[in-house]
Structures are given as C-alpha cells and as structure tokens.
Copies of this chain bind each other. A is one copy, B any other.
Amino acid sequence: MRVDVLAVGTELLLGQIVDTNSAWIGEELAAAGIDSYEHRQVGDNLERIVAALADQLTRADAVIVCGGLGPTQDDLTRDALAALAGVPLERDLAIVDHIASLFGSRGRDMPASNLRQADVPAGATVLANPLGTAPGLRVELDGRFVYAVPGVPYEMQEMVRTHVLADLLARSGEAAVIVSRSLKTWGTSESALAEMLGARVDAQTNPTIAFLARGIEGLVVRLTAKAPTRHDAEHLLAAEETELRALLGDLVFAVDDETMESVIVDALCERGWTLGVAESVTSGIVGARLADPPGASEVFLGSVASYATDVKRSVLGVTAEHVVSEECAMQMADGARRVLGADVGIAVTGVAGPSEQDGQPVGTVCFGLALAGSTPEAVTARLPGDRVRIRQFAAISLLNLLRMRLGDAR
C-alpha cells in the first residue's frame, strides 16, 4: 500500500513555517509498514490543491492532506475535496453543535466564519477532532482515499493516530492495531547499536525494530508491533523490550515520553535526595533542563552558572589553579552541594571554543560529582563539534553521568 502526503498552506511555500507534519506522518507510515514515496506542499489555491491531489491519486492508494481546514476564506481543503469528488458541500449540524459547544465551554460566542468548518463534501465521512474545531474528512474516489486532517501539529497527530492509520491498515486487509515503543539510548553510535542488535533486527518481523537518530539526545530504538488488539501488541512489545534491554543494558535511559531529566528527577525522588548544580561551559543549560519535568521542584534546588573564574572561587569555593581540570570540577560539584544545601552536587567545566583555554584544546570538558559523605569524583571527555554543540553535548553528558551514578531507576 502506498500513501502520499499533501501539505496545504501558502506560509509553507513562503518559508514562514517549516512543514514538520509531512515528516512526522512519514515516520508513522514507515512504522506501520506503509510505503510513502512523495510528499508535496502547495499554497492556499483551490485549483492547485485539486490538481495536486488528482495527480497524487494516480499513483498512491491514499493521500493524507494536512491543513486548509480552518475557518477562513483561505482554508480551501473542503472545497478542493468537493470539487475533486464532483459533489456539493453540505452543512453538518452535528459539527455545528460540536464547534458551538467548544466555544461555549471557553465562554465565547462562535464566530459565523467557523460555520465553514461544518461544511462537508456530500458523501464524505467525518473524522472527529477531540482537540479542536476542525473535523477531519475521509473521501473515497474510485477506490482510493483522501484523508484530510488539520495542520495544527498536535491535532493532526492525534487524528492520524486515532483515525487514519487504523483505517489504512484495516483497508490494507490487516485488521490490526499498531503500537510503538521507543527505547531512548545515549552513549553509543548507530553502527555500534546496529552491531549489538543486528541479530534481533534480522530475526524480528513483529515487532519491527528501527533506529532513529535524535542528534545530541542520542538514538532511539523504536519497536513497532502489529496485533489484533492493543493488549496483544503491548504484550509483543514488552517481550521484545526485555530481550533488547538484556543486550543494551544501561545504554537505555528512557522510554517513550520520558526524558533524561525526567528520569533523573524520578530517581532522585525515589531516593529522597536533593540536587544542586554548578556549571561553567554550559552556563545554565543543565539547570534549565532539570527544571523542565513536572515535580522537579521536589528535588532540584538550583544551579550556579559560574561563568567567570572569580565566581567559581567566591561563590563555590574553588581553589584549583586551572579551571578546566578534574580538580576544579570536583570542587565545583562539592561547592554546589554545600552552597545549595543539596545531597548531591554535579558540575561541568570545559572549553567550548572558539579558542583553547588553560592549555586545554577546544572540546575538553571535565565533569564532577559529589555525594554527601563521599569523596568527590571526576571524569574528563573530549567532545566533538562547534561551540553550540559542545555546550549542549556537555550538558547531556553531565546528566547522563548522574543518571548512571544514580543507577537506572528501573
């Protein structure tokens, strides 16, 4: 089965917005084992939307159209589907009620323009949108299908997952649900992962196993299971996850929506430990990340971004001669622990460039960790890339070090 994508919006052509929806849909289709050979963007122009869809349907079994379902005169996807099918638009009173109730629940009157969103090409199937006013549409044309979904990413994602993928799989003769699980790994390369998991990747057809690169956030091992029910699919995923974890060990830092920092916050909560940070080269990136998860305030006390050497000395009590050194990293970690009144202190100091510092080349980064009642520890790494990348890399490296030290929470 081949499913192509059409994204509608003049703002995409003008570069005012980057079309991330098509890539997201492409990833979902691939995970579901559905081919997608062409993505296309056209502007808010009726004739060009109709022509693009007609052309795509000569090759694809279905096309997913994103965008153009809003309430303004520029939103032409409904009209394009009606024109393509050669049918009129008809007002759907159930949709009118849904939109009016959404406005009502926000204490506002429904503008008349929103009535456009209740216009449906005759014979089309309405796909409920629980998150917004724009319903989706499914239109059949000579045994091929067009699915229209909103352009707002979170509405689009919900509707593709709920309505479109299940419908496509059912039509492809596979009465199956597709469920994915992402094992997030950090600390190894794609080729090393491929080597570790090669035998299982080759052996597995359900769940399938794919690698997705996430830049400095690491690599995701994505399992995708097809089964008659969600329960069966979850069961397949759990069994395969167990096998993969035996091979990957603590390279896996999180699953699905968990993040490096949410895992750390959870692990600290479990132990009842508080955390303080001192950061030089990252200058706040670590602190900003640690405050991100809900519940962070239970365990994360704060971070001293001691960018200037004087601040390292006066605030954190660093006495080391060289500020890019393991000695300095340990003193910073211990200082953070002491000054912020935490059980655990972590620290990072290094050279992000453009030029060397303290006789150390660009990319040299020292990490420190201090636990109340223990001798501080430190480790040094050489990180690749430019200034921006080194700083980001240093931040996640420090977080991963802490995660490893706390022991995997699972």
Contacts and interface: CB of A to CB of B under 8 A. Distances in A.
Interface of A: 12-20, 22-28, 30, 36-43, 45, 48, 52, 55, 212-213, 277, 279, 282-292, 294, 296-297, 300-308, 310-311, 314-315, 339-341, 354, 388, 391
A69 to B, nearest CB: 20
Contact of A18 (B18, B283, B388): B18
Given A40-B40, A43-B37, A287 B307 contact: yes
14 contacts: A12-B23, A15-B23, A15-B25, A39-B41, A284-B286, A284-B305, A288-B305, A297-B308, A300-B307, A302-B304, A302-B306, A308-B340, A311-B340, A314-B339
Nearest to A14: B30
A39 B12 contact: yes
A283 B294 contact: no
Contact of A311 (B30, B48, B301): B301
Given A14-B30, A16-B213, A30-B14, A303 B284 contact: yes
A287 B36 CA distance: 44
Given A17-B23, A20-B18, A283 B307 contact: no
Contacts of A18: 18-20, 23
A283 to B, nearest CB: 3
A296 B48 CA distance: 50
A61 to B, nearest CB: 16
Contacts of A289: 284
B41 A22 contact: yes
Contacts of A212: 16
Nearest to A55: B55
A212 B39 CA distance: 25
B26 A14 contact: yes
A305 B303 contact: yes
A82 to B, nearest CB: 22
A14 B43 contact: no
Given A17-B23, A308-B340, 11 more contacts: A19-B19, A19-B23, A283-B284, A283-B291, A283-B302, A283-B303, A284-B285, A302-B304, A302-B315, A304-B305, A305-B305
A356 to B, nearest CB: 14
B285 A305 contact: no
B315 A308 contact: no
Given A12-B39, A30-B15, A288 B284 contact: yes
Nearest to A18: B23
B300 A302 contact: no
Contact of A287 (B25, B52, B284): B284
Given A41-B39, A212-B16, A315 B339 contact: yes
B13 A26 contact: yes
A350 to B, nearest CB: 12
Kindly list the 10 A-B residue pairs having the minimum CB-CB distance in the complex, ordered from nearest.
A15-B27, A284-B287, A284-B284, A283-B291, A284-B288, A287-B305, A15-B26, A15-B23, A303-B305, A301-B308
